[in-house]
Structure 1
Amino acid sequence: MAKTSLKRTLSLWQVTALGLAWNTPMIYFSTFGISYESASGQLLITYVLSFLAILLTGTSYAKLAKKLPLSGSAYTYAKATIHPNAGFLVGWVVLLNYLFAPIIACITFGVFLSAQFPSIPPFVWIGGLLILLTLIAIRGVGASANISALFVAIQLLFIGGFGALLLFNLIQNGSTLPFTQTFADPILSIDNPVHALFMGTSVVVFSFLGFDTITTLSEETKNPEKTIPRAIYMILFIVGGFHLSSSFFIQSSFPSLSFLNLDAAALEMMATVGGPILQGIFILVLTMAIFTQGLASITAVSRLLFAMGRDNLLPERLFSYIHPTYNTPVFNILLSSTLSLTAIFLSVDTAMRFVNFGALTSFFFVNLCVISLAYKQKENVPFFKSYFVPAIAALIMMSLVSFLDLVTLTVGLIWMTLGCLYLLYLTKAFRHPLARWQPGKHSERTIV
């Protein structure tokens, strides 16, 4: 098979834009009803807990991205630091996360546009979105990054404007309450027991996912050892700042809420806050947001499939194929787009929980990778950063997984079991080991 040359084209801002696009700051609103119900209205505290948990794991991703600037994300890290078999199983779990990400984009796109235009069924919106996403993704990641940067900026402007509107309303309507009571209630009023807060956190954490996908672009990024870690922290703090401030102002403005349609709850809230005008602007911005989320999601899953195909863990002829003109993994893009058609039959809540299972489980292993890497380096490494912090982060990730509902855990364990069986097939019951990772082995070929 012909090999294409390595093309590092992505800058810090482009990588950050792609990460924010996958995360989608507006995901806060597109999944608002489910998050609100899962948190029992205690949005701020559950978002604070989620942010702190993800920040610890983000530190582990940044450390590994600096040491191993290769595509594949958690799959590559586990393969290089623990064992090839562990790498395969982690990659298999990450697939569950990455495959469902574009599905969520399609579901929310269909739900909100159908709520706004009831005469058009959701499957029409879903099909149209997938055709557009596929065509753009095939053209290359550079185009994806530039489109994402513009749409992400529009999202952040909308969220900032919405927060300012809520603050203005609070100031206008809060004269009957002491100032400290109006703004301290969301912080001090924690009515739910601890286990309920963690159950809410295990769902709300979905809003922070996405920063990890930029590690799949390491081989397409300029100076990835510095660029990828910086982008990880930028994404986390930008997203964290907007999500926490949104939670604070919403909880201050609406101590209790109820919705007619949980999946489109944010649309109802926009009508309450700003009437039809704000509702229309919200739909427009959300459409852009979901578009960029879907584009970044298909980009990420196609790169993970490429990395696994390149290592012959999936049929190499198909999954490592790169289009000679566009330098993109066309087969992987078409496959992920086709699978995303299942959005027609799934709910947002169901897809979210499967993504959370895959993400939280892979985050657990990424933290273990940091510990394994420190141990294998056999040199003086800071105990706190290299052992204590990732160990705490790993325990938090597993505790959040344990708070997911029984159906999600069952499906997740079935998926992992299938992965174990496939690993047995690949290794002939462990008689033939998978190829070990070697530095520089894949530097000859990548994608753009």
Structure 2
Amino acid sequence: MSIDKFGYQQQLRRELRIRDLIAYGLVFMVVIAPFGIFGSVFQASGGMIALAYVVGAAAMILTASSYGVMVAKYPVAGSVYGYAGRAIGPAVGFLTGWAILLDYVCIPLLLSLVAGASMASIVPSVPIWAWLIIFVLANTVMNVFGIKTTKLLNWIFLAAELVVLVIFLVYGLKAIADGKGHGFSLDPFYNGTSFTWSLILGGVSVGMLSYLGFDALGLLAEDAADGARTVRRAMYLSLLVVAALFVAQTWVAALLVPDPAGLIANGDPDGTAFYDAAEVAGGPWLGTLTALATALAWGVANNMVAQVATSRLLMAMSRDKQLPAFLSRVSLSRSVPTNAILATAAISLGIGLWMANRDDGITLMSAMVNFGAMIAFIVLHVCVIWDWAKNGRTGGLGRNVIVPLLGAGILVAVIFHAQLLAQKVGLIWLGLGVIVLIVLLSTGRKPALPEVPADDETPKVVTENV
């Protein structure tokens, strides 16, 4: 479906095929993402970390189904922001875009903070703030060169991450077979003495961070060679692959943790729990390798694609006049929204340098990212049901009603069991969004989107009285 039908011109080149989108999704989710947050998820789930990742995968697969429905109907670069605006109304679209901004704008700086902390532990003479500047500037330069450069680098980073993961799994399984760790056990999936759904959902609320990124494929609908069909298939495939890898690596690592009870009781303040397990498996060199891989995967590979996704969201909201107009300008020679990329980098540097001096900086940014994403996902499920009811209830009841209800239900439960900090920060951010919307309405600048025209009509604009 051409985006001309939605009142937009095709400015981005359709460079990405399904294999490129799958690689993009795997890099964005980071196939070794649990390396960096293993201790936090292990503690939150009471040691049943593999089960937490299974439940998280189920919630994300249901969410991917709703993304597939909406991207087929509205194959434009705004993702949930655009879906909510067209299915329900522009004001709801604005608030949804505001919520997901919390996710996408914070992701690049969170990644830089985590990577900076990892590198500072390896090279203590270089402070976190210096590493943050290095990571942000490096990714900005790579992304400004264009989507072809990003596509090539995605494959290189993905291959490197998979090599490190295979090394860990081989050494980890061999170590367990040789009697190291706690022996082969299904306790990371289910421990009858401590299992409660509240405990598992608490683990999911932390581990959900690992799955964020598959949804960013919706933001590349205008970069995809075959549009919506390619994006939809890539979402499912990348999710299934990464879920299997997450479960495998967390199960093996959980069986190698030196002191599981201590980790559950005291947490992982230094973020080294996974590297400690890797040392048990293969020695100090494997612990250092996994720490270095985490820094590069989060700080360069994931950061690079996160910046791409964030720039597409800023571009989409800008061209609908809901953000400053300069953000929607596209470099035709490189086929990238250069100003949006530079704005994302500036935000990452500004807020990141402030957060680097806070003891709770990474915790606070993680809370903001997770809450923004889950709110946006819940709205996505509501959009599917709303659009189905509004447009004559065409399509199957299962995919348009039952699946969205199940997906939204799981996400609401996860938010309910999330950390209090995440709930507070998220509600404050949404409150600010409501204030901004009220200001827009009171000054006569109602949220508006180009309307889908009939074949013989020119595009109209959807406005909304609130």
- Structure 2 equivalent of residue 265 of structure 1: 273
- Structure 2 equivalent of residue 201 of structure 1: 204
Could you say what secondary structure the match of 1:328 adopts? coil
Could you say what secondary structure the match of 1:185 adopts? coil
1:118 and 2:118 matched: no
The one of 421, 427, 437 equivalent to 2:435 is 421
Once the two structures are TM-superposed, the CA of residue 413 in structure 1 deviates from its matched residue by 1.1
- Structure 2 equivalent of residue 439 of structure 1: 452
Once the two structures are TM-superposed, the CA of residue 324 in structure 1 deviates from its matched residue by 4.6
Q: How many residues in Structure 1 have an aligned counterpart in Structure 2?
A: 434
Once the two structures are TM-superposed, the CA of residue 123 in structure 1 deviates from its matched residue by 1.3
The one of 252, 255, 258 equivalent to 2:255 is 252
Deviations for 1:125-180, whole angstroms, at most 9, x for unmatched residues? 11111111111111112211210122112212321321222111122217997xxx
The one of 337, 348, 357 equivalent to 1:345 is 357
Structure 2 CA distance, aligned partners of 1:174 and 1:91?
49
8 Å CA contact retained: 1:115, 1:264: no
Look up the equivalent residue of 1:294 and give its one-letter code: N
- Structure 2 equivalent of residue 445 of structure 1: none
Could you say what secondary structure the match of 2:95 adopts? helix
Deviations for 1:362-414, whole angstroms, at most 9, x for unmatched residues? 00000111111211221442112211110121121122112222222122111
Look up the equivalent residue of 1:439 and give its one-letter code: V
The one of 276, 289, 293 equivalent to 2:302 is 293
Percent identity between the two aligned chains = 26
Deviations for 1:233-290, whole angstroms, at most 9, x for unmatched residues? 1111111000111122222334716477432333333223222321333244324312
What is the RMSD computed on CA atoms of the aligned residues?
2.3
Deviations for 1:4-46, whole angstroms, at most 9, x for unmatched residues? 7452111111112222222111221112222222223221121
Worse-superposed segment, 36-45 or 257-266: 257-266
The one of 311, 314, 335 equivalent to 1:327 is 335
Structure 1 CA distance, aligned partners of 2:120 and 2:178?
34
Could you say what secondary structure the match of 1:173 adopts? coil
Worse-superposed segment, 266-275 or 22-31: 266-275
The one of 30, 39, 42 equivalent to 1:36 is 42
Look up the equivalent residue of 1:412 and give its one-letter code: G
The one of 388, 391, 406 equivalent to 2:420 is 406
8 Å CA contact retained: 1:34, 1:262: no
Could you say what secondary structure the match of 1:72 adopts? coil
The one of 310, 316, 321 equivalent to 1:312 is 321
Give the alignment of 1:79-94 within 5 angstroms.
Answer: 79-94=85-100
- Structure 1 equivalent of residue 185 of structure 2: 183
8 Å CA contact retained: 1:111, 1:263: no
1:211 and 2:214 matched: yes
Once the two structures are TM-superposed, the CA of residue 305 in structure 1 deviates from its matched residue by 0.5
- Structure 2 equivalent of residue 147 of structure 1: 153
8 Å CA contact retained: 2:176, 2:182: no
Structure 2 CA distance, aligned partners of 1:308 and 1:403?
31
Normalising by structure 1, report the TM-score. Answer: 0.91
1:237 and 2:240 matched: yes
Deviations for 1:24-73, whole angstroms, at most 9, x for unmatched residues? 11221112222222223221121111111111111111221222211011
The one of 167, 174, 177 equivalent to 1:168 is 174
Deviations for 1:334-359, whole angstroms, at most 9, x for unmatched residues? 22112212332353222111111000
Give the alignment of 1:58-77 within 5 angstroms.
Answer: 58-77=64-83
- Quick check: which one's helix share is greater? 1
Structure 2 CA distance, aligned partners of 1:133 and 1:232?
24
- Structure 2 equivalent of residue 367 of structure 1: 381
- Structure 2 equivalent of residue 11 of structure 1: 17
Could you say what secondary structure the match of 2:31 adopts? coil
1:396 and 2:418 matched: no
Structure 1 CA distance, aligned partners of 2:411 and 2:24?
24
8 Å CA contact retained: 2:180, 2:280: no
Judging changes above 3 Å, is the alpha-carbon distance between structure 1 residues 142 and 198 closer, same or farther for their aligned structure 2 residues? same
Deviations for 1:83-110, whole angstroms, at most 9, x for unmatched residues? 1111111000000000111112111111
8 Å CA contact retained: 1:15, 1:214: yes
The one of 63, 87, 100 equivalent to 1:57 is 63
Structure 2 CA distance, aligned partners of 1:272 and 1:348?
27
Once the two structures are TM-superposed, the CA of residue 313 in structure 1 deviates from its matched residue by 0.4
Structure 2 CA distance, aligned partners of 1:233 and 1:241?
13
- Structure 1 equivalent of residue 223 of structure 2: 220
- Structure 2 equivalent of residue 377 of structure 1: 391
Judging changes above 3 Å, is the alpha-carbon distance between structure 1 residues 252 and 283 closer, same or farther for their aligned structure 2 residues? closer
Judging changes above 3 Å, is the alpha-carbon distance between structure 1 residues 434 and 302 closer, same or farther for their aligned structure 2 residues? same
Could you say what secondary structure the match of 1:296 adopts? helix
Could you say what secondary structure the match of 2:432 adopts? helix
Judging changes above 3 Å, is the alpha-carbon distance between structure 1 residues 38 and 175 closer, same or farther for their aligned structure 2 residues? closer
Judging changes above 3 Å, is the alpha-carbon distance between structure 1 residues 280 and 437 closer, same or farther for their aligned structure 2 residues? same
Structure 2 CA distance, aligned partners of 1:260 and 1:63?
40
Judging changes above 3 Å, is the alpha-carbon distance between structure 1 residues 432 and 99 closer, same or farther for their aligned structure 2 residues? closer
Worse-superposed segment, 284-293 or 78-87: 284-293
Structure 1 CA distance, aligned partners of 2:185 and 2:450?
53
- Structure 1 equivalent of residue 114 of structure 2: 108
Could you say what secondary structure the match of 1:8 adopts? coil
Normalising by structure 2, report the TM-score. Answer: 0.87
Deviations for 1:278-317, whole angstroms, at most 9, x for unmatched residues? 133324432431211110111111110000000000121x
8 Å CA contact retained: 1:134, 1:334: yes
Structure 2 CA distance, aligned partners of 1:345 and 1:229?
40
